[in-house]
Amino acid sequence: MTRNAGSHGPTTAASIRRVGLKLIYEHGFNAMSLRQLAAEVGLQPASLYNHIRTKQGLLFGLVHDHMLALLEQSAQALAAAPQGDPVGRLRAFIAHHLLYHMEKKREVYIANFELRSLEPANYRIIVALRRTYEERLIALLEEGVAAGVLDVHDVPVTAYAILAMLTGACTWYKPEGRLSKPEIVALHTDLVLKGCLRTAEAPQGRGPDLSKLTGQPPLRRGNRPTPPAAGHEAPA
């Protein structure tokens, strides 16, 4: 056991959060005890209550901070992207999302896998923040559709599909893996953009005739805004 918490409040609080994140990630929220947390931080169980009131409070704090960081850093990435360039902005969103998720593997895991462990009021707050984040990608796709550079069946469900794909990287990514982060970003960016770009019409002889290749009739395509994703939950 490492005694990494001194008598300094902020340092101890940071240790509790760091160790709490690790324990929830490794054992699950239900299986982790505050007694175990206190022991790993190097505190008496009673002293823990000077810093956190409940296990639920610890979980909510971890997930809430993750969502706020994701939203803030994503906004910064978009602010730095060229305005008026929907593809450039989508590219910035994709790169940020991937880099964040490869870095914050444990936070993301807990935010997804322990969503069910949040009490109703906390759950609603987190789901609202997730919705805000999803709406950001939905707005980017709508910008691209409106500008005539993107062409997707349905904007909200396409956004969910893209988020699931990008978030998936945090489950298999390892720093020592075969591909570097820039290569992983390039691969996903290419996959998403090719998947969403408007292809030139077949009659002009430009681009593959996708409907023939996919065997699917085109549906709900075009520039008109799509209704909200009622009846569909946020993707994990």
- By CB under 8 A, the residues from 112 to 131 that bind its own copies are 113, 116-117
Stretch that binds its own copies, among 15-23, 57-65, 135-143, 205-213 (CB under 8 A): 205-213
Stretch that binds its own copies, among 13-21, 26-34, 56-64, 69-77 (CB under 8 A): 26-34
DSSP 16: H
The helix-helix angle for 155-172 and 120-146 (nearest 10°) equals 120
**Least distance in angstroms from the C-beta of 110 to its own copies:** 11
- Total residues in contact with its own copies, by rule CB under 8 A: 72
DSSP 197: B
Q: Which of 57, 168, 222, 225 binds its own copies (CB under 8 A)?
A: 168
Give the x-and-dash track for 31-70 against its own copies (CB under 8 A).
x---------------------------------------
229 is a site residue for its own copies (CB under 8 A): yes
**Least distance in angstroms from the C-beta of 13 to its own copies:** 26
99 is a site residue for its own copies (CB under 8 A): no
Name 224's bridge partners: none
Residue whose structure tokens are 């520039």: 223
Q: Helices (DSSP H) in the chain: which residue ranges?
A: 9-27, 34-41, 45-48, 55-80, 86-103, 105-113, 120-146, 155-172, 181-196, 210-214
84 is a site residue for its own copies (CB under 8 A): no
Determine the 3-state secondary structure of 43 from DSSP: coil
Q: According to CB under 8 A, which residues from 173 to 202 bind its own copies?
A: 173-174, 176-179, 183-197, 199-200
| Nearest Cα to Cα of residue 163 among 141, 148, 182 | 141
Express the helix, strand and coil content of the chain in percent, nearest 5 each. Answer: 65, 0, 35
